[in-house]
Structure 1
Amino acid sequence: MDNTLIKADDIWLLWAFLAGWAAVSIYLEQKYKWASKLSGAIIALLGAMILANLKIIPTESAVYDTVWGYVIPLAIPLLLYQANIVKIMKESGRLLIMFFLSSAGTVAGVIIAFFLLKEYIPGLEKVAAMMTGSYIGGGVNFAALSTKFEAPGELVSATVVADNLMMAIYFFVLILIPTIPFIRKHFRTPHIDQMERDNAGENKAAAYWKGKEISLKDIALSVGTAFTLVAISFKLAEIFGNLIPSGENTNFFFVLLKGTLGDKYLVLTTLTILAVSIFSRYFENLKGAQEIGTYLIYIFFVVIGVPASISLIISQAPLLLAFVAIIVVINLAISLLLGKVFKFNLEEIILASNANVGGPTTAAAMAISKGWTSLIVPILLVGTLGYIVGNYAGSAIGYWFSSLL
Structure 2
Amino acid sequence: MMVYSGDFLRCRLATKAALVLPQLLPATTVQGVWTALIIAAAAGLWSERTRIGKELSGPLVSTLIGLLFSNLGLVGGANAGTVYDTVNKFILPLAIPLLLYSADLRRVFKETGRLLIAFIIGAFATVVGTIAAFKLVPLAALGAQDSWKIASALAARHIGGAINYVAVAETLQVSPSAQMAGLAADNLLCAVYFTTIFNLARKIPPESASMSQASNGGKASSEGIQVLEATTGIALSAILCYLGQQLAVAIGFPSASISIITLLTVALATVFPDQLKPLVASSEGIAFILLQIFFAAVGASGEIKAVLTTAPSLFLFCFLQIAIHLGIILGVGRAAGFARKDLLLASNANVGGPSTAGGMAAAKGWQSLLVPALLIGTFGYSCATFVALVLGTTVLRGMVVV
Equivalent pair of 2:214/2:370 in contact (CA under 8 Å): no
Q: 2:333 corresponds to which residue?
A: 339
Aligned pairs (5 A) from 1:389-404: 389-400=383-394, 401-404=396-399
Structure 1 residues 202 and 267: CA distance shift in structure 2, 3 A: closer
For residue 222 of structure 1, report the CA deviation from its aligned partner: 0.6
Query: Within the alignment, does 1:55 sit opposite 2:73 as a pair?
Result: yes
Paired residue for 1:245? none
- Give CA-to-partner distance per residue, 1:175-234, whole Å, 9 cap, x none: 11124xxxx5xxxx4xx2547x97x699969x9598516533211211111011111111
State the one-letter code of the partner of 2:397: S
Task: Say yes or no: does 1:20 pair with 2:39.
Answer: yes
Partner of 2:86: 66
User: 1:392: Cα distance to partner?
Assistant: 0.5
1:229 and 2:249 are equivalent in the alignment: no
The counterpart of 2:135, out of the listed 112, 115, 122, is 115
Separation in structure 2 between the aligned mates of residue 94 and residue 88 of structure 1, nearest angstrom: 11
1:106 paired to 2:100: no
Alignment: residue pair count: 370
- Please give the alpha-carbon distance, in whole angstroms, between the structure 2 residues aligned to 1:4 and 1:325: 42
2:64 pairs with one of 46, 50, 63? 46
Does the CA-based 8 Å contact 1:80-1:273 persist in structure 2?
yes
Partner of 1:133: 156
- Distance between the aligned counterparts of 2:55 and 2:214, measured in 1? 15
Gaps of 5+ in 2: 1-22
1:97-155: per-residue Cα shift (whole Å, max 9, x none)? 11111011110011111122227342311111111111112221111111111111111
Instruction: State the identity %.
Output: 30
In structure 2, distance between residues paired with 1:209 and 1:372? 18
Q: What 5-or-longer segments of structure 1 have no aligned partner?
A: 242-257
CA distance in 1, matches of 2:286, 2:301: 25
Report the counterpart of residue 176 of structure 2 in structure 1. Answer: 153
**Cα–Cα, structure 1 residues 281 and 202, in superposed 2: closer, same or farther, change >3 Å?**
closer
Which residue of structure 2 aligns with residue 175 of structure 1?
198
Matched, 1:323 2:317: yes
Contact 1:75-1:140 within 8 A present in 2 as well: no
1:391: Cα distance to partner?
0.7
Moved more, 168-177 or 119-128: 119-128
Q: Is the contact between residue 49 and residue 308 of structure 1 (CA under 8 Å) also seen in structure 2?
A: yes
Aligned residues of 2:36 and 2:75 also touching (Cα < 8 A) = no
Cα shift at 1:240: 1.9
One-letter amino acid matched to 2:70: A
- Give how far 1:34 is off: 3.6
- Residue 366 of structure 2 aligns with which residue? 372
8 A contact 2:84–2:301 mirrored in 1: no
| Whole-angstrom distance in 2 between the partners of 1:210 and 1:127 | 32
Hey, what does 1:307 align to over in structure 2? 301
Partner of 1:308, secondary structure, is: coil
Match of 1:247 in 2: none
What amino acid does structure 2 have at the position aligned with 1:268?
I
Is the contact between residue 244 and residue 257 of structure 2 (CA under 8 Å) also seen in structure 1? yes
Larger Rg: 2
Given the alignment, which residue of 95, 102, 110 partners 1:90? Answer: 110
Higher RCO (CA < 8 A, seq sep 6+):
1
Q: Which one-letter code corresponds to 1:335 in the other structure?
A: I
Aligned-partner SS, 1:315: helix
Post-superposition shift, 1:318?
0.8
The root-mean-square deviation of aligned C-alpha atoms, in Å, is 2.6
Residues 210/222 of structure 1: CA separation in 2 closer, same or farther (3 Å cut):
closer
**Change beyond 3 A, Cα 1:81–1:58:** same
